[in-house]
């Protein structure tokens, strides 16, 4: 079995080790990295742009290039999140929390470096996992129905306030704001429009990539640009110390790399959920496990390493249902499915038998592509970090320009720009008053997923709420929710009350 695997992999490498394929793979991952860096422009735009070029090539070269764009774009996503608090995609929203703080402390270099290395670890891990586990895992996903999705998302939703460092109350308020804005748009199950005020543009609701750019990039730019001239100079984030990670950075990053890889891959396998949940869950996990909990939100390197790793591991995960079942779990994999079909290939249960050569070539190319990305991205750390030497005014004007371009590029609709600035200004005032905005974005992402899956679960189980308890996986997640989310605060409360009680008693005694 293992011998077969190596023989297959060797064949795969044999097919791609020629200068042409390697050059195209390099082109793919390079374009991927840069599209990842640009906010709003995701892999889907870049792949769609390269499709005409790819069709002129033979399937192996074309697919290797396009899949290179896909995983390459995951590398760059956190760059602007770290440097200028502008998440390039939803998955890097949580990276703004600690990555940007690190940059403010002059540690942009280590933050970018740990993101690049974490991405590499994740890319390699998920390629191995894809190779070994694809058929098995794809089948295991059959046990994950709407009820399980619903429980998993509920777990995530209940942990949203973990993204805050300040007032929990303010965190809850922005969470609720996110939940309410998530209600805007046409309800998928019934086709009824909610809170759209008859506007066609609101029928699909507020795009969450748009929302993330709006509440992070615009307020940050406004805050920076509205600072007084003198203080602006002080706020320039000079790079201090080494660009490279210290020994302690390494020690603190290794755990998150490992956990992020596994978590990201597993969540990535589930169709329809996407890497945003993976990076968010990884952040919460690292915060809970860390010995430096108090540093989270103030520049903890684990808060960059974990989520960025999880985000990248999600790509390998997302390819599992695509290769093994022919099921696209996201818009990007749906586009890849189409490209396979245009080449006359049908991903799906038989692909491992009918076209193993191509599949193994792609897997082999992912090993090489990830290594290329590491060597491409590490030198870029210095280049990207030096962006911060640009004076505040032109830098943040640039941020606004890229935010506008990125948002317009989402669907070429000017209405989106109006939403961008309205949300941006709301975000500015919320930020001024110390309201955390990451919970807002995560609530916006999770609410529709929760609602849809809850209603699917209900329809499927004939309206019987017990379905959540009767299904073993769903029940396990619910128990986890009780243990992790409900139990600790209750315990704390009871303990406090006991203490108060004891104190009173003691106080009474003294008095008496």
Partner 1 sequence: MVMNSLSRKAFLFFTILTLLLLLAACGDSSDTSSEPTSDPETGAIEENSEANAENTDADTESEQNADGNGHEFNPDKKPITIVAPSAAGSGWDLTARSLDETLKAENLVDFPTQVVNEEGATGAVSLAQLVTEHQGSDERISVTSLPILVNYHMGLSEYDYQDVTMIARLMTEWFVIVVPEESPYQTIEELLTAIEEDPQSVPVGASGDDRLPLQLVFDRFGGDPSSINFISYEGGGEITNGLLNGDVEAALTGVSEFRSQIEAGTLRALAVTSEERLGEVFSDVPTVSEVGIDVVFGNWRGVMGPPEMPEEAVTFWEDTIEAALETETWQDIAAKNQWDITFMKGEEFLEFLEQTDQDIEEGLRKTGQIE
Sites for partner 1 among residues 214-243 (CB under 8 A): none
- CA distances (Å), origin 371, targets 10, 219, 315, 404: 17, 36, 16, 33
| Residues 2-31 close enough to bind partner 1 by CB under 8 A | 31
Alpha helical stretches, state H, 356-486: 356-385, 392-411, 414-432, 438-460, 467-470, 472-481
* 437 CB burial (10 A radius; 0-12, 13-18, 19+): buried
Q: CA-to-CA distance for 338 and 235, rounded, in angstroms? A: 48
Which residue of 116, 327, 442, 447 would you call a contact of partner 1, by CB under 8 A? 327
The DSSP H or E segment spanning 327 is none
For residue 455, what are its two tokens?
């209603």
Which residue among 47, 151, 284, 442 contacts partner 1 (CB under 8 A)?
Answer: 47
Q: Which helix (H) or strand (E) holds 485?
A: none
Q: How far is the CB of 433 from partner 1 (least distance, A)?
A: 33
Among 176, 342, 483, 494, binds partner 1 (CB under 8 A): 342
Residue 350 Cβ, how far from partner 1 at the closest point, in Å?
Answer: 6
Q: What part of residues 456-475 is at the interface with partner 1 (CB under 8 A)?
A: 456-457, 459-460, 462-463
The binding track of 238-267 with respect to partner 1, each residue x by CB under 8 A or -, is ------------------------------
Min separation Cβ 190 and partner 1, Å: 8
Judged by CB under 8 A, does residue 487 bind partner 1? no
What's the closest the beta carbon of residue 43 comes to partner 1, in angstroms? 10
Q: Rank residues 32 and 307 by Cβ distance to partner 1 and give the closer one.
A: 32
Kindly give, in sequence order, each residue whose CB lies less than 8 Å from that of residue 349, ignoring residues fewer than 6 positions away: 324, 325, 326
CA distance 99 to 105: 10
For residues 338 and 429, which CB has a smaller minimum distance to partner 1 in the complex? 338
Distance from C-alpha of 132 to C-alpha of 126, rounded to nearest angstrom: 10
User: Distance between alpha carbon 215 and the CA centroid of its chain, in Å?
Assistant: 17
Are 468 and 147 spatial neighbours (Cβ–Cβ below 8 Å)? yes
Nearer to partner 1, 171 or 369 (CB): 369
- Are 435 and 225 in contact, with CB atoms under 8 Å apart? no
- First and final CA of the chain: distance in angstroms? 79
Q: Do 275 and 87 touch, CB atoms closer than 8 A?
A: no
The values of phi and psi at residue 419, to 5°, are: -60, -40
- Footprint of partner 1 on 121-160 (CB under 8 A): 141-146
Q: Are 41 and 35 in contact (CB under 8 A)?
A: yes
The footprint of partner 1 on residues 79-118 (CB under 8 A) is none
Give the nearer residue to partner 1 in terms of CB position, either 203 or 226.
Answer: 203
Q: Candidates 9, 11, 13, 48: give the one binding partner 1 (CB under 8 A).
A: 48
The nearest distance, CB 355 to partner 1, in angstroms, is 12
Applying the rule CB under 8 A, the residues between 374 and 393 that interact with partner 1 are 382-384, 386-387, 389-391
Neighbours of 217 (CB within 10 A): 30
Cβ proximity to partner 1: between 55 and 429 the closer is 55
Lookup: tokens for 125? 């891990």
Which position among 204, 434, 470, 503 is part of the footprint of partner 1 (CB under 8 A)?
204
Residues within window 357-376 making contact with partner 1, judged by CB under 8 A:
none
Contacts with partner 1, 397-436, as mask; x by CB under 8 A: -x---x--x---x-xxx-x---------------------
Q: In degrees, to the nearest 5, what angle opens at C-alpha 170 toward C-alphas 159 and 112?
A: 60
SS3 at position 194: strand
Q: Does residue 193 touch partner 1 according to CB under 8 A?
A: yes
Nearer to partner 1, 53 or 482 (CB): 53
**What minimum distance in Å lies between the beta carbon of 394 and partner 1?**
9
CB closer to partner 1 out of 41 and 315: 41
- Interatomic CA distance for residues 266 and 143, integer angstroms: 13
Looking at the Cβ atoms of 258 and 348, the one nearer to partner 1 is: 348
What Rg do the C-alpha atoms of the chain give, in angstroms? 24
Nearest CB to partner 1, comparing residues 331 and 469: 331
Q: If residue 193 lies in a helix (H) or strand (E), which one and from where to where? A: strand 193-194
Candidate list 346, 355, 425, 485; residue touching partner 1; CB under 8 A: 346
Among 272, 356, 472, 488, binds partner 1 (CB under 8 A): 272
Looking at beta carbons only, is 176 or 390 nearer to partner 1?
A: 390
Query: Out of 307, 328, 427, 439, which residue is the one contacting partner 1 (CB under 8 A)?
Result: 328
């Amino acid at each position: 079995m293992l011998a077969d695997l190596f023989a297959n992999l060797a064949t795969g490498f044999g097919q791609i080790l020629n200068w042409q394929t390697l050059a195209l793979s390099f082109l793919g991952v390079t374009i991927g990295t840069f599209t990842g860096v640009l906010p709003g422009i995701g892999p889907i735009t870049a792949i769609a742009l390269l499709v005409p070029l790819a069709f002129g090539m033979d399937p192996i070269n074309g697919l290797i290039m396009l899949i290179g764009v896909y995983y390459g774009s995951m590398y760059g996503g956190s760059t602007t999140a770290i440097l200028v608090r502008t998440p390039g995609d939803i998955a890097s929203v949580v990276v703004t929390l600690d990555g940007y703080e690190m940059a403010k402390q002059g540690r942009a270099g280590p933050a970018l470096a740990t993101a690049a290395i974490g991405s590499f670890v994740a890319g390699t891990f998920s390629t191995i996992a894809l190779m070994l586990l694809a058929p098995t895992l794809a089948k295991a996903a059959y046990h994950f129905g709407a009820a399980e999705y619903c429980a998993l998302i509920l777990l995530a939703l209940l942990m949203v306030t973990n993204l805050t460092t300040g007032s929990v109350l303010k965190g809850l308020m922005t969470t609720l704001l996110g939940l309410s804005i998530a209600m805007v748009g046409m309800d998928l199950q019934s086709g009824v429009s909610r809170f759209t005020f008859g506007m066609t543009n609101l029928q699909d609701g507020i795009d969450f990539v748009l929302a993330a750019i709006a509440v992070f990039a615009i307020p940050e730019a406004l805050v920076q640009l509205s600072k007084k001239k003198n203080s602006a100079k002080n706020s320039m984030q000079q790079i201090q110390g080494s660009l490279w990670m210290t020994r302690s950075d390494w020690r603190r990053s290794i755990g998150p790399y490992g956990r992020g890889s596994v978590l990201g891959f597993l969540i990535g396998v589930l169709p329809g959920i996407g890497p945003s949940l993976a990076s968010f869950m990884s952040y919460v996990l690292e915060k809970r496990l860390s010995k430096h909990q108090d540093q989270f939100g103030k520049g903890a390197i684990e808060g960059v390493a974990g989520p960025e790793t999880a985000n990248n591991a999600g790509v390998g995960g997302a390819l599992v249902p695509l290769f093994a079942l022919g099921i696209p779990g996201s818009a990007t994999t749906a586009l890849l499915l189409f490209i396979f079909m245009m080449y006359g290939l049908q991903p799906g249960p038989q692909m491992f038998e009918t076209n193993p050569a191509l599949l193994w070539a792609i897997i082999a190319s992912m090993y090489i592509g990830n290594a290329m990305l590491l060597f491409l991205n590490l030198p870029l750390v210095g280049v990207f970090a030096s962006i911060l030497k640009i004076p505040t005014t032109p830098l943040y004007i640039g941020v606004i320009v890229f935010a506008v371009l990125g948002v317009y590029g989402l669907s070429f609709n000017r209405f989106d720009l109006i939403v961008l600035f309205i949300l941006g200004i709301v975000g500015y005032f919320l930020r001024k008053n110390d309201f955390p905005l990451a919970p807002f974005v995560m609530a916006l992402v999770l609410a529709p997923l929760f609602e849809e899956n809850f209603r699917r679960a209900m329809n499927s189980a004939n309206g019987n709420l017990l379905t959540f308890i009767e299904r073993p996986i769903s029940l396990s997640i619910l128990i986890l929710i009780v243990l992790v989310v409900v139990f600790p605060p209750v315990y704390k409360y009871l303990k406090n009350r006991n203490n108060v009680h004891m104190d009173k008693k003691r106080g009474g005694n003294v008095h008496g």
